[in-house]
């Protein structure tokens, strides 16, 4: 059996707000093998970011907390790790690309300095001159001219800032990379370039990756397995083939695929899944998807479906037993 770099078992995370308790993650199970890439897909508000923040242990203090479950990183339980120990892991063992590139850059430091700072923190042995060269290399990798390293974040476009954030995360060559929607602001050609760069990283340093995205095309190109999240749970997971080939699927997955604008067809209106993500303060009973589900059964209204396994393919739906 292959070694697992990441294992999440029965994770529950909630946020405490003035309006009530937000149940962001509700019993999530995930596994990631070494050197593999997992695509995490799901509607906005499904709890994808919350999941990776829990792995990094960067949930907002006092507000967000893990109420149940364990997270194993490379076989070690990190659920109860103290902040000082966690700091040692961040960057080297596990690194994260944040979702909002604009807010994770320091507006008053030039981008070159910011990348250099990351390198100094994690690879101090390189020495000043070598670090300077590395900064140039890294910028080049993400398609930015190295002369522009003296400029400040506000002088770059949205996509460029996103590339800088990616560059910073890749700079320290982590064992596990958690990429939270890293390519949303990039056009297809640059996106292809960035994804290729990540793949290369995966090959050279056998980095494992968790790629959060809503672009099913990107998933098809880069991932080995896929997990689809809805309302804080994984409702379907499997290998790329399991998910992308026709057969048994969760109705939500089917809806997701139908919402993709199809270039080959000539329809004016798009066909999204009806309704919105349920209010996480007040989740519906039974299957959380039932109010929007076109194939809702009676049991769905009061009973949470169990996971049914078909080899590597797992689905959580009453339609399949």
What is the binding site for Mg ion (CB under 5 A)? Answer: 49, 99, 157-158
Q: For another protein, which residue of 10, 88, 137, 188 counts as binding (CB under 8 A)?
A: 188
The nearer residue to ligand ATP, 50 or 95, going by C-beta atoms, is 50
Task: Output the six-digit token pair for 239.
Answer: 């290998």
Q: Identify what 191 binds: another protein, ligand ATP, Mg ion, none; CB under 5 to 8 Å per kind.
A: another protein
Nearest by Cα to 59 from 9, 13, 10: 13
Q: How many Å apart are CA 89 and CA 70, to the nearest integer?
A: 17
Q: Answer yes or no: are the C-beta atoms of 312 and 36 closer than 8 Å.
A: no
Cβ burial of 295 (10 Å; 0-12, 13-18, 19+) is: exposed
Core vs surface per residue 70-103: b (16+ CB within 10 A) or e? ebbbbeeebbebeeeebeebbbebbbbbbbebee
Please report, as residue ranges, which positions from 196 to 255 form the binding site for another protein (by CB under 8 A).
196, 199, 214-222, 240-241, 244-245, 255
What x/- string results for residues 175 through 194 when contact with ligand ATP is judged by CB under 6 A?
A: ----------x---------
The nearer residue to ligand ATP, 44 or 282, going by C-beta atoms, is 44
Q: How many Å apart are CA 24 and CA 37, to the nearest integer?
A: 24
Q: What minimum distance in Å lies between the beta carbon of 212 and Mg ion?
A: 7
**Would you count residue 112 as binding ligand ATP (CB under 6 A)?**
no
**Would you count residue 60 as binding another protein (CB under 8 A)?**
yes
What x/- string results for residues 286 through 315 when contact with another protein is judged by CB under 8 A?
A: -----xx-----------------------
């Amino acid at each position: 059996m292959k070694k697992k770099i990441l294992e999440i078992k029965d994770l529950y995370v909630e946020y405490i707000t003035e309006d009530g308790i937000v149940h962001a993650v509700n019993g999530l199970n995930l596994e990631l093998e070494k050197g593999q890439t997992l695509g995490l897909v799901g509607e906005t508000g499904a709890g994808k970011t919350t999941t990776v923040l829990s792995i990094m242990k960067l949930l907002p203090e006092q507000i967000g907390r893990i109420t149940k479950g364990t997270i194993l990183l490379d076989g070690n339980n990190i659920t109860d790790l103290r902040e000082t120990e966690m700091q040692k892991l961040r960057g080297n063992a596990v690194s994260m690309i944040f979702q909002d590139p604009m807010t994770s850059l320091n507006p008053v430091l030039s981008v070159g300095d910011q990348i250099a700072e990351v390198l100094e923190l994690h690879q101090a042995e390189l020495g000043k001159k070598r670090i300077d060269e590395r900064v140039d290399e890294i910028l080049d990798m993400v398609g930015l001219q190295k002369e522009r390293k003296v400029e400040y974040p506000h002088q770059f476009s949205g996509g460029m800032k996103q590339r800088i954030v990616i560059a910073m995360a890749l700079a320290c060559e982590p064992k596990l990379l958690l990429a939270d929607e890293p390519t949303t602001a990039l056009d297809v050609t640059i996106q292809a370039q960035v994804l290729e760069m990540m793949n290369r990283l995966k090959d050279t340093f056998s980095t494992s990756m968790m790629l959060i995205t809503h672009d099913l095309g990107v998933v098809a190109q880069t991932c080995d397995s896929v997990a689809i999240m809805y309302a804080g749970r994984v409702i379907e997971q499997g290998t790329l083939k399991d998910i992308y080939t026709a057969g048994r699927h969760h109705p939500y997955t089917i809806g997701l695929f139908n919402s993709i604008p199809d270039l080959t067809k000539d329809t004016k209106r798009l066909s999204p899944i009806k309704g919105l993500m349920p209010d996480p303060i007040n989740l519906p009973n039974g299957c959380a998807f039932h109010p929007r589900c076109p194939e809702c059964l009676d049991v769905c209204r009061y009973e949470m479906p169990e996971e049914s396994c078909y080899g590597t393919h797992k689905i959580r739906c009453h339609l399949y037993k």
